[in-house]
Structure 1
């Protein structure tokens, strides 16, 4: 498989999902679509905040990773695991940053922290 097609299928699909999630975020708590962790599903306020935060980060970082993987595929003669590694790192960073923001703004029961 051509490195360009590989990057388009892996990182391009990730970027496409980020665009879909950004423009069509989930409205209600569900177990099928959206940023679903036990913490984010505590109540509607946490759900809205977590999905908003994750979708912004996901769009930003998946765009960066898509461009980085494309550049890598043009530079390197052969790409095998690098686009997948970039994708996993992108998802991990988005989840970690979203959880950090949840910790800053909500307590363990899902109530907003007073500032």
Structure 2
């Protein structure tokens, strides 16, 4: 049972972080571009306008994605309660991998939105 609890905590961590950072990004976007924290790609760091746009857009994706992943992750882990440690480990690892794909996958629609709304110099279209 301890391993199931451990895997549940691990598998809820990514959706909770997505909700937390997503809300932070779209509610409290730093107006100053920095090299340490935030959604940092070449396009998002062109100017303050692209910086704020990227954080708002990606933040909303992460927030909604995290809210959707929370009940899904909980349901999947509840489905394996009482199973062998091997089964719990495989299901938990697969779930964690799928969550990370969604977390990192938010880069693709964010970059597309940036390119749709800004030219390559960072000027609004």
- With structure 1 as the length reference, what TM-score do the two structures score? 0.83
Question: How far is 1:92 from its partner?
Answer: 2.9
- Is the contact made by 2:54 and 2:114 (CA closer than 8 Å) also made in structure 1? yes
**Per the alignment, in what secondary structure is the counterpart of residue 26 of structure 1?**
coil
Gaps of 5+ in 1: none
The correspondence of residues 18-29 of structure 1 with structure 2, limited to 5 A, is 18-29=22-33
- Is the contact made by 1:14 and 1:87 (CA closer than 8 Å) also made in structure 2? no
Of Structure 1 and Structure 2, which has the larger fraction of its residues in helix? Answer: 2
Q: Please tell me the root mean square deviation across aligned C-alpha atoms, in Å.
A: 1.9
Matched length: 113
- Is the contact made by 1:69 and 1:86 (CA closer than 8 Å) also made in structure 2? no
- With structure 2 as the length reference, what TM-score do the two structures score? 0.77
**Per the alignment, in what secondary structure is the counterpart of residue 41 of structure 1?**
coil
Query: Which position in structure 1 is the counterpart of 2:97?
Result: 85
Question: Quick one: structure 1 residues 52 and 88, their matched pair in 2 at CA, closer, same or farther if it must change by over 3 Å?
Answer: same
Question: How far is 1:18 from its partner?
Answer: 2.7
Question: Quick one: structure 1 residues 83 and 23, their matched pair in 2 at CA, closer, same or farther if it must change by over 3 Å?
Answer: farther
- Is the contact made by 1:54 and 1:94 (CA closer than 8 Å) also made in structure 2? yes
